[in-house]
Structure formats: structure tokens, C-alpha cells
Amino acid sequence: MPLARSRTHSLSRDHRNSNFIITGSIDGHVKFWKKKTEGVEFAKHFRAHLDAITSMSVNYNGTLLATSSRDKTIKVFDVTNFDMINIIPLEYVPSSCAWIHVKESPKQTLAWYLSFVIDRDRS
């Protein structure tokens, strides 16, 4: 099954150590796809967020995915089992999220970022 080609599928991650492609969309959907010899096969769909996904980040070994959204949440997924394993509610819209780790260390930290835009015309 080919990946959807539309403006709503705006983000994708293909981790070099995994057999999966993950897409995220401006309507809050996350989809997991299995890589095949020729093409990809649909694996799982989540209506993960109530608003646009602003960022997606896969950890260093491809086992965890984090998504941030305009709905003021970050969701964490177990890539291997196609499960949503954590929801982090925020009081603001995160601009992005990223996994932080030290080489060869089992410890990982999820970080998120908030950017402010100053509208000079409204002052």
C-alpha cells in the first residue's frame, strides 16, 4: 500500500535501525508503516492529537516516538508494539520535542521546546 500523498501528511520518520516508517499529520493522526522489500504496508493508525502535530522525534535506537501538538500535549509511543504509552499534558503549545541521550547510556530524556513570537504590530 503506498503512503498517502496529501498536504495533511506532513511529517515522517524513518529510523535507520527500524523496519518502520512513521507519519504524522496536521490533523493529529499518527500512522505506522512496515517497510517491505517493495514499498510499505500499513500497520497501525492513531487519532493521537486533537490538533496539528508540531514535531515528531524517535529515540536513538528507534523504540520510542514522541509527538508534540497544538493541542497542548506530548504523546509517547512504543514503536515496536505500536502502543501509545504516555500522555504529557502541558499548559502551552510546544514547538518541538526531542530525545536527549548520552552515547552508549541506557538513560534517555524527552525534552520539549516553547518558542515565543512577538507581534510588533499589536503593541
Cα→Cα distances 35→42, 60, 64, 123, Å: 9, 19, 17, 51
Tens-place pLDDT, residues 108-120 = 788 877 665 544 5
> Model pTM?
0.76
Tens-place pLDDT, residues 12-23 = 455 555 678 888
Domains of the chain: 9-122 (2.130.10.10)
Quote the mean pLDDT of the chain. Answer: 80
